[in-house]
Amino acid sequence: MHERKDPYPSRTSGKAQTIPRQDQVVYSRWSAGAPLSEDETRAFDRDGFILLRDLFDAGEIEALCRDAKRMLTASNGTLDPDTVIAEPDSGAVRSVFKVHEQSAVFARLAADARLAGVARFLLNDDVYIHQSRMNYKPGFQGREFYWHSDFETWHVEDGMPRMRALSMTVLLTANTPYNGPLMLMPGSHKSYIVCVGETPDDHYKMSLKKQEYGVPDDELLTQLAEDGGIAAPIGPAGTVIAFDCNTMHGSASNITPFPRSNAFIVYNALSNRLEAPFGPARPRPEFIAARTSVRPVVPVSGPLIQSAA
């Protein structure tokens, strides 16, 4: 039996370093019928993310926000308790995972052509939901999400083979310069950051609250920021940020009175479905990384919420 070759080794030595990306960013050739403009497609390839505005109308945003608030109440018995992650200090809800399977509204959002159609175009493949979640940052209590590349974790801990996945972040409250908006490092997706430290078993139980393994080296983060800068796309509820799986990103704590809530839907190419983890022997649970419940998303057009008329 041949030993599996790891194209993106990490957490296997004591040396932090960067290695060049070995995969494409945009897998489709742009044409006039694409769901993104040529400039947007070029920007995603260059920067590793794009900002999409005015995709949803007021009624759709209201329905999403209403269900996001419902999911904040973990004690109401409607959510799988394993999917609800609390802040380590305050106990406030930090994240709710598997929202596309716990909410009809978010299931419809995940299948919406305005998101899934863009993912299929950029990845040039059928896609499925690798992960979905709501990230909450209540006023005064919302803690930071430290700098990281999603792909590093998905590769090491979940067994995602290649960089052929992306996230769609839908802002469900206004993200301002002050309340801990998502920050990204333009161009960082072109380099893979090798992290140090062997991953302990069941690392997810700690990392979903505060990550200590798979954390990039300060010197390498500084170099990425000096090379490409730091962007903090902001906007009202309904704004969408699409970003590549290897784009370095994070967010600061929210010390303002104004809450910040973002929905994340992660689309992975069907040809890139998970294998055995490249790090720990035991993969993370299904609610974090879909392994058996893999179903191609069939994009649905039209409004999220059907009118009663």
CATH code of the domain in which 211 resides: 2.60.120.620
pLDDT digits (tens, 9 = 90+) for 283-296: 899 999 999 989 99
Which pTM does this prediction carry?
A: 0.93
Task: Decide if 289 is inside a domain.
Answer: no
pLDDT at position 94 is 86
Q: Is 281 exposed, middle or buried (0-12, 13-18, 19+ CB in 10 A)?
A: exposed
pLDDT at position 2 is 56
- Provide the number of structural domains found in the chain: 1
Using CA atoms, how far apart are residues 226 and 156, in angstroms rounded to an integer?
27
Task: Decide if 287 is inside a domain.
Answer: no
* Long-range contacts of the stretch 62-66 (C-beta < 8 A, 24+): 63/105, 63/304, 63/305, 64/105, 64/106, 64/109, 64/170, 64/172, 64/263, 64/304, 65/172, 65/173, 65/237, 65/261
pLDDT at position 12 is 86
Task: Decide if 299 is inside a domain.
Answer: no
Torsion, Cα of 3, 8, 45, 114 (10° steps)? 70
pLDDT band at residue 201 under the 50/70/90 scheme: low
Q: Percentage of the chain surpassing pLDDT 70? A: 92
pLDDT at position 282 is 87
pLDDT band at residue 308 under the 50/70/90 scheme: very low
pLDDT band at residue 58 under the 50/70/90 scheme: very high
Is the Cα torsion angle 148, 154, 158, 159 positive or negative in sign?
Answer: negative
Task: Decide if 285 is inside a domain.
Answer: no
pLDDT band at residue 209 under the 50/70/90 scheme: very low
8 A C-beta contact, residue 167 and residue 265: yes
pLDDT at position 93 is 85
Q: Percentage of the chain surpassing pLDDT 90? A: 75
pLDDT band at residue 46 under the 50/70/90 scheme: very high
- How are strands ordered across the β-sheet holding 249-251? 145-148, 249-251, 183-184
H helices present in the chain, as ranges? 38-47, 58-71, 104-111, 118-123, 150-153, 204-207, 218-228
pLDDT band at residue 213 under the 50/70/90 scheme: low
Task: Decide if 10 is inside a domain.
Answer: no
pLDDT at position 279 is 87
Using CA atoms, how far apart are residues 261 and 106, in angstroms rounded to an integer?
14
Phi, psi of 58 (to 5 degrees): -60, -40
Task: Decide if 240 is inside a domain.
Answer: yes
Task: Decide if 144 is inside a domain.
Answer: yes
pLDDT at position 153 is 93
Tell whether the model's pLDDT for residue 207 goes beyond 70: no
Q: What mean pLDDT is predicted for residues 256-282?
A: 94
Using CA atoms, how far apart are residues 215 and 122, in angstroms rounded to an integer?
27
pLDDT at position 253 is 93
Tell whether the model's pLDDT for residue 128 goes beyond 60: yes
Task: Decide if 71 is inside a domain.
Answer: yes
pLDDT at position 78 is 81
Structural domain that includes position 253: 17-25+39-272
